[in-house]
Chain A
Amino acid sequence: MPAEPANATAAGPTALAGVPREVGVAKPDPVVVADGVVRRFGGVTAVDVGHVEFQRGAITALIGPNGAGKTTFFNLLSCFDQPQEGTWSFNGEPLRGVVPHQVARRGMVRTFQLTKVLSKLTVIENMRLGATAQRGERFLSSLLKPLWAAQEAEVTARADELLVRFKLDHMREEFAASLSGGQRKLLEMARALMTDPELIMLDEPMAGVNPALKQSLLGHVKALRDEGRSVIFVEHDMDMVFDISDWVVVMAEGRIIAEGPPADVGANPAVIDAYLGTHHDRDLAPDLGGGGTS
Chain B
Amino acid sequence: MDWGNIVTLTISGCIGPLAVQYVLAAQGLNIHYGYTGLFNFGQAGFMAVGAYGTAIVAQPSQLGGYGGPLWLGVLVGVAAAVLLALLMGLPTLRLRGDYLAIVTIAVSEIIRLVVRSEATDAFAGGNSGINGFAASFYEANPFKNNGRYEWGPFSYLGKDLWIMVLGWTVVGAFALLTFLLMRSPWGRVVRSIRENEDAVRSLGKNVQGYKMQALVLGGVMGAMGGVVLALFQNLALPDDFVTRTTFIAYAALILGGAARVLGPVVGGIIWYGAFAFLTNVVTEAKRAGYFPSGVEDNAAVLPFVFLGIALMLLVVFRPQGIFGDRREVELDAR
Contact = CB atoms under 8 A, between A and B. Distances in A.
A166 interface: no
Interface in A163-202: 175, 177-178, 188, 191-192, 194-195
Interface in B276-334: 327-328, 331-332, 334
Interface in B176-193: 177, 180-181, 183-189, 191-192
A142 B190 CA distance: 12
B198 A137 contact: no
Contact of A112 (B183, B191, B198, B334): B198
B191 A142 contact: no
Contacts of A118: 191-192, 195-196, 199-200
Contacts of A40: none
B199 A195 contact: no
A128 B188 contact: yes
Interface stretch (B13-21, B81-89, B202-210): B202-210
Interface residues of A, number: 42
Contacts, number: 111
A284 interface: no
A109 B181 contact: no
A129 B327 CA distance: 22
Contact of B184 (A132, A142, A178): A142
Given A143-B180, A145-B184, A129 B202 contact: no
A101 B328 contact: no
A89 to B, nearest CB: 18
Q: Is the interface of B mostly helix, strand, loop or mixed?
A: helix
A160 B181 CA distance: 24
B181 A105 contact: no
B201 interface: yes
Nearest to B185: A136
Given A121-B192, A129-B192, A136 B184 contact: yes
A175 B203 contact: no
B201 A100 contact: yes
A112 B202 contact: yes
B127 interface: no
Contacts of A100: 198, 201-202
B58 to A, nearest CB: 30
A104 B331 contact: no
B196 A143 contact: no
B200 A129 contact: yes
8 contacts: A80-B202, A101-B205, A104-B201, A104-B203, A116-B198, A118-B196, A137-B188, A195-B203
Q: Which 5 A-B pairs have the closest CB atoms?
A: A136-B185, A104-B204, A142-B186, A142-B184, A116-B199
Given A128-B185, A142-B185, 7 more contacts: A110-B202, A130-B203, A132-B204, A139-B186, A143-B180, A192-B202, A195-B203
